[in-house]
Amino acid sequence: MPGALVNFYQKLNPRRQPEESLPLRIGILASVIIAEVTILAMGYYSPLNLLAVPVLTAAGYVTSWKLRHRRNLALKLFLSLLVAVTAIIFLRELATNLYDTRLPLVKMLLWLQVLHSFDVPSRKDLKFSLASGAALVAAGAVLSTGMEYFLGLALFSMAAVVSLVYFYISEEAQRLDSRPQVKAGYVLRYAAITWLAGICLAIPVLFLIPQNLEARLYTLPFSNLQRLLGDFSGDVNNPYYPSGGDPFSREPRFNPDSYHGFNSYMDLRSRGYLSDDVVFKVKSAGYNFYRGVVFDRYNGKGWDISEERFDEMTADPPPFNFSLSNYLAPETRTRVETFYVQQDMPNVIFASWKPIQLYFPVDRIKTDQFQSIRSPYQLTAGTVYSVISDQPLYDPDFLRRFPLSRESDLKIDPQYTQLESMDRQGLERVEELAARVTAPYDTRYDKAAAIEDYLKENYPYKLDIPPQSKDMDATAYFLFEQKAGYCEHFASTMAVMARSAGIPARVVTGYTGGEYNPFTALWEIRQSDAHAWVEIYFGSAGWVPFDPTPGFDYPSGGAQNPWVMGKIFSYLGQLLGDTPAVGAIRAAVSFSLSLPFMPTLALLLGTALLALVIFRGSERLTRGRRRRRKLAMAMDRCYYSQPVLRDYLALTARLQELGLRRQPGETLRSFSHRVCRFLESDDFSRLSSMVECVRYGGLDPETHGAGAASLAGRISERIRCRGTATGIA
């Protein structure tokens, strides 16, 4: 029984011709290590993996090079056991990542690559290593959230092209039974030209292919689940602003690393510039505002939350399902968004309005009476979460019908229409202005829109304003003294003016949609994208957002243009600045993309280019296959018509049973050297020389007839003895 198992295992692992090209192996090793580091440098795995995987891969290639002429059955058996262990670890990690299986799967592929590196004797094994490296790079495109990935992609493609050139050289050397001395400089030059040609082909294809903007995942990604042991308050916890005491009784505070509106209060007297550091990146089909904190009580100096009431939600595992809105909307758009946190943030879970499902890495969250979402922990760099939202798409004609005549604002908290200020005189001036602005209009929507337009048209948005110099109502100071301000000044003033006109209003802080990066397909949200806007109550139509800040408009919910060319030019134009040349190129691209036939033309050009490449490639493959088939048929007819060649074929068939077969493209001389080492005799080499003389030298087969028959008999006996020694009769 053990002998049968050994024989079976030997048949599964036949002896393969080793690859002797050291430059080829170095090129494959470089490609594989670059692919591994590209994945590991993204920070999803521990530093131990970052160190161990490349080092062990290099050690594996060195070991495989030294043992390339051996069968290494014991090593292969040990590696098989380690593969089983890797599969068990994968299944265990998969059980804790059911909603995002990508990370366990890529980790398993990394370690399978390491194990495979210890047994790559043949050219076929090296090709498999290069293919698995390409699979790792492709997985990196899915996991990447930064431009660093393109460096890894460029380096891998360069190393892969060099490896492919050495593959060609090695195959041709084997076919010609020679060892050509090819200078490395020539190979690198040829590979560089090939790589540049590939780039020149890839860039137009990238421009012509529309970008897929919608998520197609059955489950949405989020970080590893953390279970909460105790209770948490639900209050906003911002590490950049210490809590405690009355914030309006002390000097206003400002931190450039966090917006002062992400607190349980917002002081309108605060001044300063927020940094341009990226806070998080968002995978989204379009530009959005991300809602964070809502304020309902105004005190003349700023805003706070009158009374926080929380509802606790549990989900183990996620998602958290929010109740559907009872408010009316003419149309909604479902938006799936994934957030990749880049810096430590408050415990506010930002999401576009209105969330219906949340994939967040905790088992408990809390929502306040404004449906703002709180995490039990501060959001740390590396946190990933996803949100599905049903965004209402409001139309002015629809909103003019609300609130309905039978509805009353008494159903909502009276706090939304109350105004308090230590500067009653200044507040009265604001009320008088609101009355003048809204007097010509009858509907709530028209009054709110009139206030919004008045602020946008008469007051500039500025960040370089001095601190408030007078002890007066903040909105009155903005309207009548400063006459310029931040987004929170515009939003606060609109909310106060709306309340003065009897319209329920509240202030919201969050982030604007940021800047789209067409290379990563992510929206980059910076600290300086923090923003404030207003929500107005429209009865059964619910709370509707307005943005009175000049240069800002609340998103309509439409998807962005899928054509990547215009977005790349726009992104590069923003990096280079608004020079005349950049402006002209941007205008030309925008005009061409606006043409109605452009999508059809781009699709036709892309299809034609792809069809041409496929046609030329298939034509070349078919021609080569046909030529090889004709040569093989002619050789078979010749072999079976001559005794020397017939004996040679019979012996090679028996050698094949022992796992020693002639590789495609392998010369008779090269094959005979391997057989002689296996049989420990030079008889097969002499027989091969006779075959070459008969087959290629044009000699009469009868000249070597007797000698060939004698050699064939001795070789047959050697094969029988070797078969008995290895357990194969």
Query: Which tokens is 292 given?
Result: 């964070």
- Compare 221 and 75 and report the one with higher pLDDT: 75
The answer on pLDDT for 663 being more than 60 is yes
The answer on pLDDT for 42 being more than 90 is no
pLDDT of residue 232: 81
The percent of residues in the chain predicted with pLDDT above 90, rounded, is 36
- Compare 632 and 695 and report the one with higher pLDDT: 695
The answer on pLDDT for 213 being more than 80 is no
Confidence of residue 677 (pLDDT cuts 50, 70, 90): confident
Write down the residue that tokens 């509106």 correspond to: 261
pLDDT of residue 367: 92
pLDDT of residue 711: 79
Query: Quick one: which of 682, 44, 657, 567 has its CA closest to 286?
Result: 567
Over residues 235-254, mean pLDDT: 84
The answer on pLDDT for 58 being more than 90 is yes
- Compare 541 and 96 and report the one with higher pLDDT: 541
Distance CA 574, CA 585 (A): 12
pLDDT in tens, 586-602: 566 555 555 555 556 66
- Compare 127 and 316 and report the one with higher pLDDT: 127
Q: Average pLDDT over the chain, rounded to whole?
A: 82
pLDDT of residue 231: 77
- Compare 244 and 25 and report the one with higher pLDDT: 25
SS (H, E, C) 409-469: HHHCCHHHHCCCCCCHHHHHHHHHHHHHHHCCCCCHHHHHHHHHHHHHHHCCECCCCCCCC
pLDDT of residue 728: 45
pLDDT in tens, 629-660: 554 455 455 555 567 777 777 887 778 777 77
The answer on pLDDT for 186 being more than 50 is yes
Min mean pLDDT across 48-52, 219-223, 230-234, 346-350 is at 219-223
Report phi then psi at 335, rounded to 5.
Answer: -130, 130
pLDDT of residue 729: 45
SS (H, E, C) 577-601: CCCHHHHHHHHHHHHHHHCCCHHHH
pLDDT in tens, 481-540: 999 999 999 999 999 999 999 999 999 999 999 988 888 888 999 999 999 999 999 888
Q: Are 250 and 267 in contact (CB under 8 A)?
A: no
Question: CA torsion 22→135→148→33, rounded to 10°?
Answer: -30
The answer on pLDDT for 544 being more than 60 is yes
pLDDT of residue 584: 62
Instruction: Tell me which DSSP letter residue 93 carries.
Output: H
Q: Residue ranges per domain, the chain?
A: 2-208, 247-561, 563-594, 642-725
pTM as predicted: 0.73
Select, from the ranges 272-286, 325-339, 544-558, the one with the highest average predicted confidence (pLDDT).
Answer: 272-286
pLDDT of residue 581: 60
pLDDT of residue 714: 83
The answer on pLDDT for 5 being more than 60 is no
Instruction: Tell me whether residue 728 is exposed, middle or buried, using C-beta atoms within 10 angstroms of its C-beta: 0 to 12, 13 to 18, 19 or more.
Output: middle
The number of helix segments (H) and strand segments (E) in the chain equals: 20, 18
The answer on pLDDT for 573 being more than 70 is no
Over residues 328-350, mean pLDDT: 89
pLDDT of residue 317: 78
pLDDT in tens, 311-334: 899 987 788 998 876 777 778 888
Confidence of residue 689 (pLDDT cuts 50, 70, 90): confident
The helix (run of H) or strand (run of E) holding residue 267 is: strand 265-267
Over residues 166-172, mean pLDDT: 85
Select, from the ranges 67-76, 114-123, 573-582, 607-616, the one with the highest average predicted confidence (pLDDT).
Answer: 114-123
- Compare 721 and 27 and report the one with higher pLDDT: 27
Over residues 61-66, mean pLDDT: 93
Distance CA 668, CA 408 (A): 96
pLDDT in tens, 288-300: 999 999 999 999 8
Over residues 416-422, mean pLDDT: 84
Query: Which tokens is 509 given?
Result: 């802080």
Q: What are the strands, taking DSSP E only, across 527-667?
A: 530-537, 543-546
Which CATH architecture group holds 247-561? Roll (3.10)
Q: Report, in this order, helix, strand and coil percent for the chain, each rounded to 5.
A: 50, 15, 35
pLDDT of residue 420: 84
Min mean pLDDT across 17-26, 307-316, 484-493, 664-673 is at 664-673
Over residues 272-299, mean pLDDT: 92
